[in-house]
């Protein structure tokens, strides 16, 4: 990981404009900050998706197209704390469905917590944890004779460019069998007055989350970033529905990164692009899946029309 990190940082900071991949937000401090973000009043995404899973559980189960007596696998990519899925798991069990829950996550720690929590709360649940980077390996999607339902929630797709999303959906479709389904949770395209505060909360948690990337470079790669000389600067392109978070240099400065044996120059006002958070509507999703066998089957939305959970048939 640390070699990948060094290469990605060297490459990103040598590019014009400078970029850093958002996947490196998630070290232990970043995981903690993201948990706080999900609870922020401005960050509506998690609550909206939770509402869909809590209030529309029966319709959602119907849309998964499974029969109680026929075993299937329910695979969740990037399972995290499994809070949203909990409602679904509980109802599937009480309705007598025969399924195995397969949470996939990069963090072994997160998976252990999830497993212990679910063993306690839902002792009858069959669970098989899979640790790994699902972008690289799509682990947990190896050979199986059972039909599969994949959950890809939390608008995680939105952290990819449309080009990468297309490639990801193509790869995912190749791992699935006709009749399998994907539940894709995505944030809806909407006006800046709702989206921007979600990425620039009043308590500064999101700012700390973004700046933590520089702390990580300092710690893991011997970087000499002074955090007070950068500011979190999110923007939202309302027409296209794309939020972008930047870290903006507040002064002209040269930053040494020891492990790379390099110095990077920043001019005052220069921005490092650190994250995109794409917002969607159905035409955008249709473009992303255009070259894949996926078809949109059912669309769920929350009561405030902020968020979509889309069931796609392979
Ligand atoms: C994980 N991902 C979908 C979040 C998002 O909304 O793009 C990450 C995040 N970045 C800032 N706040 C939340």
pTM as predicted: 0.95
Among protein residues, the one whose CA lies closest to atom 1 of ligand 1: 156
Q: Measure the N-to-C terminal CA separation of the chain; round to a whole number of Å.
A: 33
Ligand 1 pocket, 36 CB below 6 A? no
Determine the distance separating the centroid of ligand 1 and the alpha carbon of 17, expressed in angstroms: 21
At residue 157's C-alpha, the angle toward residues 281 and 287, to 5°, is 45
pLDDT at 194: 98
| 147 Cβ inside 6 Å of ligand 1 | no
How many CB atoms lie under 10 A from the CB of residue 19? 19
Cα of 188 vs centre of ligand 1, distance in Å, is 14
Pick the closest to residue 185 from 222, 154, 228 (CA basis): 154
- Ligand 1 within 6 A of CB of 46: no
Nearest-angstrom CA–CA distance, 249 and 270:
5
| ipTM (interface predicted TM) | 0.99
Determine if ligand 1 sits within 6 Å of the CB of residue 155: yes
Q: Tens-digit pLDDT profile for the chain (314 aa)?
A: 568 999 999 999 999 999 999 999 988 899 899 999 999 999 999 999 999 999 999 999 999 999 999 999 999 999 888 888 999 999 999 999 999 999 998 888 889 999 999 999 999 999 999 988 877 766 556 667 799 999 999 999 999 999 999 999 999 999 999 999 999 999 999 999 999 999 999 999 999 999 999 999 999 999 999 999 999 999 999 999 999 999 999 999 999 999 999 999 999 999 999 999 999 999 999 999 999 999 999 999 999 999 999 999 99
206 lines ligand 1 (CB under 6 A): yes
Which helix (DSSP H) or strand (DSSP E) does residue 111 occupy?
A: helix 108-121
Q: Evaluate: CB of 242 within 6 angstroms of ligand 1.
A: no
Whole-number pLDDT of residue 81 = 81
198 Cα nearest atom in ligand 1 = 12
Q: In Å, how far are 57, 85, 261 from 311, measured between CA atoms?
A: 13, 15, 48
Short-list 80, 76, 79, CA closest to 32: 80
Residue 212, ligand 1, Cβ within 6 A: no
Q: How far apart are CA 191 and CA 160, in angstroms?
A: 20
Cα torsion 260, 15, 169, 32: sign: positive
Q: What are the b/e assignments for 290-306, b being 16+ CB within 10 Å?
A: eebebeeebebbbeeeb
């Amino acid at each position: 990981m640390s070699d990948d990190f060094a290469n990605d940082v060297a490459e990103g900071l040598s590019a014009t404009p400078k970029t850093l991949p958002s996947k490196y937000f998630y070290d232990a401090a970043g995981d903690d900050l993201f948990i706080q973000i999900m609870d922020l009043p401005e960050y509506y995404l998690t609550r909206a998706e939770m509402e869909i899973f809590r209030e529309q559980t029966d319709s959602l189960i119907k849309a998964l197209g499974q029969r109680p007596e026929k075993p299937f696998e329910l695979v969740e990519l990037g399972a995290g704390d499994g809070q949203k899925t909990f409602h679904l798991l509980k109802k599937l069990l009480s309705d007598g469905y025969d399924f195995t829950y397969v949470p996939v996550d990069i963090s072994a720690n997160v998976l252990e917590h999830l497993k212990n929590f679910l063993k306690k709360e839902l002792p009858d649940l069959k669970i098989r944890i899979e640790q790994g980077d699902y972008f690289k390996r799509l682990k947990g999607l190896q050979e199986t004779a059972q039909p599969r339902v994949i959950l890809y929630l939390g608008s995680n797709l939105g952290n990819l460019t449309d080009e990468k999303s297309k490639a990801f959906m193509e790869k995912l479709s190749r791992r699935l069998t006709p009749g399998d389904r994907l539940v894709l949770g995505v944030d809806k395209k909407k006006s800046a007055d709702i989206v921007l505060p979600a990425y620039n909360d009043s308590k500064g948690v999101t700012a700390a989350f973004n700046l933590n990337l520089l702390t990580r470079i300092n710690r893991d790669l011997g970087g000499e970033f002074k955090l007070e000389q950068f500011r979190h600067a999110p923007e939202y392109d309302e027409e296209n529905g794309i939020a972008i978070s930047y870290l903006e240099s507040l002064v002209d400065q040269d930053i040494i990164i020891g492990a790379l044996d390099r110095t990077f120059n920043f001019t005052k006002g220069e921005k490092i692009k650190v994250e995109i958070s794409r917002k969607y509507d159905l035409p955008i999703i249709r473009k992303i899946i255009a070259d894949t066998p996926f078809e949109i089957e059912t669309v769920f939305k929350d009561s405030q029309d902020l968020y979509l959970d889309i069931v796609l048939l392979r």
